[in-house]
Chains A and B, each alone.
Chain A
């Protein structure tokens, strides 16, 4: 019963989206307020209908309704409730339903909270959003129906891939999609602006909160994904430059560029056509990600079950949306006049370098990811483009960006005094050099690049803090005055400081865990002691334990340091009989200084197996937690910027129009 309701609700949502695709757009061009306003109710209706469909699918998972094919394939009655719920978006069909749900949520968000946006722009934006919605809802209904029934229903399901039965990964897709799909509304705003043929500072301000919200989610999604890879896959890596990781990273890079270029558009009325292009391309890359993950075009460890027919359908959608919007861009963008002028040394120029490097890095990742396909098509040869390529090309682009990040906030708009800035930062440059030397004194070894990176990261961190201190005149004036200044400083400024400092913190994590990681791989028998990074790890044997839908071999490791007991670690190897696979559950002792990371494996070599030995991998990853702490700071910085008064009240309206009075958009 519920699945049919869900399917019916989806059909209703498609109908609503079709109406919304046409009516508000026509209304905006004819000045028919009634037609324009219908976008509001239809956006909300779409969200309600898709919400019903999503709830119906979730219900089927929660009660383990094995008459629904999707539940059979991705669930099991013994699975813990959290993963039953997460199973809703664990499959291609379910995740696509989540995709359109978030699409509708952003549309409804603009309809509900965008009361300061002029009617015509809002109507056009929501219409464009409905075009995307129509495309993906029809894709869902025609090729990937999540509510398909099976008859006769099997007694139990096939279980979800055990690797995916994990809290981090349960939350990973919703966050990632919220970011991915969130850029859709920015895309819609951009296309609407192109149709209107005008874009100004106010436009950039209206778009900003949505860009920020999407960017924050995407940051969270990527960070969560890398955290999951770190502790679940069992060898302590957090980034592999896999095509599927790359396709989530590219919208992030370009979205970051967009956030910065939109600032220039907002404050200085410049970079207009570039900002529009970034808005279109960021979402285009999200769409590309959806396409690559679901079409089986490239080999990846994370791909969904692939089906070229679906791939063809998505490619069609991509062609229409990306091709269409960029054609519109080619037609309309040249008419956009560049705004404020600026000198080669200025805040604008700094942000231009930021955009240049971020866009180039995105282009490089895109090209590297797709190169095997290009080569195969052109010459028939197969090549691999892996982490060594990306590290060799991406890092050299990011380091100068980080250097500029330290300087940028000091630069004033239009024309800046570089000499003055350098005078302020002299001391910090010295500090950065000393930090690299100090690191060398402590670590002795590791690649030269690591020391350079340490210096640059210290530079970024302290330049960022210095800029903040200058703004609130820390220590220059009495504390009360500083606090008053800090209060009066726009939240967006605090947000920038927090986010930039967050990147520096995360970079310490990247550097520490890649350059100074230590590793021991040994056969162990009860009583064996392994020394690593100053710890003594004693292996006390393995026992068999039972979980709800798995059986595990659990090792016990007593960790001590200089004879003093530190902790006990329990790495596990779980085997899931229904899904017929095993996972390693690593055990980690986390501190700010670094993680002691243990994972257990069955020895592959027969000689070792005969003696009853186990393979134990112990890693020490210095500073690795800073990656996620820094990521959290990035997200919080975004959130602080989002809460800026400027984005809530008193948002400027276009002088020529009489839109509704601005109200807080919370």
Chain B
């Protein structure tokens, strides 16, 4: 009994140590937050168009009944990484025929307009989320964030931060490919 009690501290420490070792895994990002939306239907939101951009606004209904998975990208003109990501998204739309929807997060319409005029507009629809409420519905923590939504409106994937660089683009492309096969199997 006495021996068992005396051995207890070292055993506890070993268990703790194992957790620490796991925690040091360089692929683990202690700041990443999992999304609760995954495998859930897209959240409730209804956003008007950004004035003068020439594409319609975005609401929950637009995410249901699509034949293919769509990509929903949360962006803003004031967001520096979004600029780099813009090129990647444009390429996806032009080369891979991805359907891209945008949520313009807390952005002045004139700024967004100028930004899109300069860089081009790859978005099929853009909702203007002036007060960031739709952002909360989507559970975003910052800009940019990108979601893949299945044709039946189910959120399949979330990418936090800009989809820029070989590693990130690879990851995103894989997720998109998986979404497409899932969609194929469903329909």
Q: Which residues of A contact B (CB under 8 A)?
A: 273, 277, 280-281, 284, 291, 295-299, 308, 311-312, 315, 318-319, 322-323, 326-327, 329-330, 333-334, 370, 373-374, 376-377, 380-382
* Residue B23 CB within 8 A of the other chain: yes
Are the CB atoms of A319 and B24 closer together than 8 Å? no
User: Please, how many angstroms separate the alpha-carbon atoms of A434 and B16 in the complex?
Assistant: 47
Are the CB atoms of A330 and B31 closer together than 8 Å? no
Minimum CB distance partner of A372 in chain B: B30
Interface size on B, residues (CB 8 A): 24
Are the CB atoms of B17 and A318 closer together than 8 Å? yes
* Residue B118 CB within 8 A of the other chain: no
Chain A nearest CB, measured from B29 CB (Å):
10
Binds A, one of B7-15, B44-52, B85-93, B157-165: B7-15
Chain A nearest CB, measured from B111 CB (Å):
13
User: Please, how many angstroms separate the alpha-carbon atoms of A152 and B31 in the complex?
Assistant: 35
Chain B nearest CB, measured from A160 CB (Å):
24
User: Per a CB cutoff under 8 Å, which of B10, B19, B23, B34 touches A330?
Assistant: B10
Chain A nearest CB, measured from B2 CB (Å):
5
Residues of A near B20 (CB, < 8 A) are: 291, 295, 297, 315, 318, 373
Known: A323-B14, A326-B10, A333-B6. A308 touches B24 (CB 8 A): yes
User: Please, how many angstroms separate the alpha-carbon atoms of A373 and B18 in the complex?
Assistant: 11
Residues of B near A284 (CB, < 8 A) are: 13
Residues of A near B32 (CB, < 8 A) are: 382
Residues of A near B34 (CB, < 8 A) are: 380-382
Q: List B20-68 residues whose CB lies under 8 Å from chain A.
A: 20-26, 28, 30-34
User: Per a CB cutoff under 8 Å, which of B24, B31, B33 touches A311?
Assistant: B24
* Residue B3 CB within 8 A of the other chain: yes
What is the interface of chain A mostly: helix, strand, loop, or mixed?
A: helix
User: Please, how many angstroms separate the alpha-carbon atoms of A322 and B30 in the complex?
Assistant: 25
Chain A nearest CB, measured from B10 CB (Å):
4
Chain B nearest CB, measured from A241 CB (Å):
17
Known: A323-B17, A370-B19. A295 touches B7 (CB 8 A): no
Chain B nearest CB, measured from A660 CB (Å):
34
Minimum CB distance partner of A326 in chain B: B10
User: Please, how many angstroms separate the alpha-carbon atoms of A280 and B6 in the complex?
Assistant: 13
Chain A nearest CB, measured from B46 CB (Å):
24
Are the CB atoms of B10 and A334 closer together than 8 Å? no
Chain A nearest CB, measured from B9 CB (Å):
5
Residues of B near A381 (CB, < 8 A) are: 34
A-B residue pairs in contact (CB < 8 Å), sample of 22:
A277-B9, A295-B23, A297-B24, A297-B30, A299-B30, A299-B31, A308-B24, A308-B25, A315-B17, A315-B20, A326-B9, A326-B10, A330-B3, A334-B6, A373-B23, A376-B23, A376-B28, A377-B19, A377-B22, A377-B23, A380-B34, A382-B33
User: Please, how many angstroms separate the alpha-carbon atoms of A574 and B131 in the complex?
Assistant: 29
User: Please, how many angstroms separate the alpha-carbon atoms of A271 and B166 in the complex?
Assistant: 61
User: Please, how many angstroms separate the alpha-carbon atoms of A296 and B30 in the complex?
Assistant: 8
Known: A318-B17, A373-B19, A377-B19. A334 touches B24 (CB 8 A): no
Residues of B near A277 (CB, < 8 A) are: 9
Q: A295-B24, A315-B20, A377-B23 are in contact. List 9 more A-B contacts (CB 8 A).
A: A277-B9, A295-B20, A297-B30, A312-B24, A315-B24, A330-B3, A370-B16, A370-B19, A373-B19
What is the interface of chain B mostly: helix, strand, loop, or mixed?
A: helix
Residues of A near B3 (CB, < 8 A) are: 330, 334
Are the CB atoms of B30 and A323 closer together than 8 Å? no
User: Please, how many angstroms separate the alpha-carbon atoms of A297 and B3 in the complex?
Assistant: 33
User: Please, how many angstroms separate the alpha-carbon atoms of A571 and B33 in the complex?
Assistant: 36
User: Per a CB cutoff under 8 Å, which of A329, A370, A380 touches B6?
Assistant: A329
User: Please, how many angstroms separate the alpha-carbon atoms of A381 and B32 in the complex?
Assistant: 11
User: Please, how many angstroms separate the alpha-carbon atoms of A299 and B25 in the complex?
Assistant: 15
- Among B7, B24, B25, B28: residue with most chain A CB under 10 A: B24
Are the CB atoms of A273 and B6 closer together than 8 Å? yes
Residues of A near B21 (CB, < 8 A) are: 315
Are the CB atoms of B24 and A323 closer together than 8 Å? no
Residues of A near B9 (CB, < 8 A) are: 277, 280-281, 326, 329-330
Known: A334-B2, A374-B19. A329 touches B10 (CB 8 A): yes
Chain A nearest CB, measured from B55 CB (Å):
27
Contact with A along B121-132 (1 / 0, CB 8 A): 000000000000
User: Please, how many angstroms separate the alpha-carbon atoms of A322 and B16 in the complex?
Assistant: 11
Residues of A near B13 (CB, < 8 A) are: 284, 322-323, 326
Are the CB atoms of B30 and A298 closer together than 8 Å? yes
Minimum CB distance partner of A384 in chain B: B33
Residues of B near A327 (CB, < 8 A) are: 10
Chain B nearest CB, measured from A284 CB (Å):
7
Chain A nearest CB, measured from B50 CB (Å):
19
User: Please, how many angstroms separate the alpha-carbon atoms of A108 and B150 in the complex?
Assistant: 68
User: Please, how many angstroms separate the alpha-carbon atoms of A327 and B25 in the complex?
Assistant: 26
Q: Which 5 A-B residue pairs are closest in the complex by CB-CB distance?
A: A326-B10, A330-B7, A333-B6, A334-B2, A330-B6
User: Please, how many angstroms separate the alpha-carbon atoms of A382 and B28 in the complex?
Assistant: 12
Residues of B near A312 (CB, < 8 A) are: 24
- Among B17, B19, B30: residue with most chain A CB under 10 A: B30
Minimum CB distance partner of B22 in chain A: A377
Residues of A near B22 (CB, < 8 A) are: 377
Residues of A near B26 (CB, < 8 A) are: 308
User: Please, how many angstroms separate the alpha-carbon atoms of A539 and B22 in the complex?
Assistant: 54
Chain B nearest CB, measured from A194 CB (Å):
11
Residues of B near A295 (CB, < 8 A) are: 20, 23-24
User: Please, how many angstroms separate the alpha-carbon atoms of A370 and B20 in the complex?
Assistant: 9
Residues of B near A380 (CB, < 8 A) are: 34
Chain A nearest CB, measured from B6 CB (Å):
4
Chain A nearest CB, measured from B78 CB (Å):
13
User: Please, how many angstroms separate the alpha-carbon atoms of A330 and B16 in the complex?
Assistant: 17
User: Please, how many angstroms separate the alpha-carbon atoms of A189 and B3 in the complex?
Assistant: 22
Chain A nearest CB, measured from B160 CB (Å):
13
User: Please, how many angstroms separate the alpha-carbon atoms of A66 and B14 in the complex?
Assistant: 43
User: Please, how many angstroms separate the alpha-carbon atoms of A295 and B23 in the complex?
Assistant: 9
Minimum CB distance partner of A374 in chain B: B19
Minimum CB distance partner of B9 in chain A: A326
Minimum CB distance partner of A273 in chain B: B6
Are the CB atoms of A319 and B17 closer together than 8 Å? yes
Residues of B near A281 (CB, < 8 A) are: 9
Chain A nearest CB, measured from B131 CB (Å):
12
Chain B nearest CB, measured from A615 CB (Å):
19
Residues of A near B30 (CB, < 8 A) are: 296-299
Chain B nearest CB, measured from A197 CB (Å):
14
